[in-house]
Amino acid sequence: MRTRWLLVDGFNLAFRSFYGMPELTRSDGFPTGAIHGWVRTFWYLSDRLKPDEIAVFFDLDGDARREALRPEYKEQRSETPEALAAQIPHLKELSEAMGFGRFEVSGVEADDLIGASAVRLAREANEVLIVSADKDLAQCVGKNIEQLLPPPTVNPRLGWRRLNADGVREKFGVRPEQIADYLALVGDSADNIIGIAGVGPKTAARWLNAYGNLERVIENCGMLKPVRFQSIVHEAADHLRENRVLTTLDWECDPGPLKPAPLDSARVLEILGEMEMERACRDARQRYSQPPSA
């Protein structure tokens, strides 16, 4: 039977929940803004998209594969704000109590787990929606797989945007299967991946549309326009190939069986009560048909 899955990038959504909400706190000063945003977002997605299953993925202990190749991978990222870090354990616990479960593997990025899970589910003819703003997850988009972009925190009026293969092409100028090559050329500042200086999205897309993939771009570097990039790409060939290893998702990683936890509405209410989220408690009782004394 065809099942609709939401595969959620946990930390990506946590940051958006944190920055998209005011600085809410419990009476003792404990921050709760991200928790408010998290709960409301999942309720919104559940009501709007009516998924059969939701799985939430988190990073755990870095990325052993990529850090072994390039130790400086992601090292420029700033520390998670203390107010958000304090809420992460509660977001994880809520994920399980709300019936989604959380999935994490030490030393493996959540993006890799999401990509491998999406491909496996799609091959079984399930419908998959990947909830994340990360560009590298666009390489997953294809038959039975789409990406759902959260509203940007700097421009929330854009709302939620859904990308199929045509949407990826419109947004980036390349096909989903070219995204890893595209990011290898332009770089990805979020992951400390340095592309070719001066090569922007339009130039990278033009080269990839002309030659098909990164290796063919390198092979035809003597024909590239603007001319100044011909020698630059030739000299940077090994760097670009290494970039592509970093930007390509690990389709062979093992996220384990996706078995979301059963809904524990009593625990959801308990957590929301501990956070002094009275309105959310009222809404949860109505949503989960719990008696007022729960």
Report the alpha-carbon distance of residue 269 to residue 94 in Å, rounded.
10
**The two three-digit tokens of residue 45, written as one number:** 């997605």
pLDDT at 293: 43
Specify the residue for token string 């993939």.
Answer: 213
pLDDT at 180: 98
The answer to whether position 293 is within a domain reads: no
Tokens 């400086």, located at residue: 72
Regarding whether 92 and 235 lie in a shared domain, the answer is no
* Residue 274 pLDDT: 97
Q: Is residue 52 part of a domain?
A: yes
Q: Across the strands, what pairs with 103?
A: 57
User: Is residue 285 a part of any domain in this protein?
Assistant: no
- Cα separations in angstroms, 147 against 38, 72, 174, 175, 236: 19, 28, 15, 14, 32
- The answer on 188 and 167 residing in a single domain is no
Number of domains into which the chain is organized: 2
Per-residue pLDDT of the chain (294 residues; tens, 9 = 90+): 789 999 999 999 999 999 999 999 999 999 999 999 999 999 999 999 999 999 999 999 888 899 888 888 776 666 899 999 999 999 999 999 999 988 999 999 999 999 999 999 999 999 999 999 999 999 999 999 999 999 987 888 889 999 999 999 999 999 999 999 999 999 998 888 999 999 999 999 999 999 999 999 999 999 999 999 999 999 999 999 999 999 999 999 988 889 888 999 999 999 999 999 999 999 999 999 854 444
Question: Within this chain, do residues 209 and 273 fall inside the same structural domain, yes or no?
Answer: no
Whether 189 and 46 map to the same domain: the answer is no
Cβ neighbour number for residue 36 with a 10 Å cutoff: 22
Sequence length of the chain is: 294
**CA gap 268, 263 in Å, rounded:** 9
Q: State which H helix or E strand residue 103 sits in.
A: strand 102-103
CA distance 79 to 76: 9
CATH number at residue 132: 3.40.50.1010
Backbone angles phi, psi at 145, to 5 degrees: -130, 130
168 in the same domain as 79: yes
Collapsing DSSP states into helix, strand and coil, what is residue 294? coil
On whether residue 286 sits in a domain, the answer given is no
Query: What sign does the dihedral 112-118-206-155 (CA atoms) show?
Result: negative
Same domain, 234 and 140: no
Task: Indicate whether 39 and 114 sit together in one domain.
Answer: yes
Enumerate helices (H) and strands (E) in the chain, giving the number of each.
14, 8
What confidence score (pLDDT) does residue 292 get?
Answer: 45
Domain that holds residue 113: 4-172+253-280
- Burial of 44: CB neighbours in 10 Å, binned 0-12, 13-18, 19+: exposed
Residues 129 and 181 in one domain: no
For residue 25, report the phi and psi dihedrals to the nearest 5 degrees.
Answer: -140, 160
Task: With H, G, I as helix, E, B as strand and everything else as coil, classify residue 211.
Answer: helix
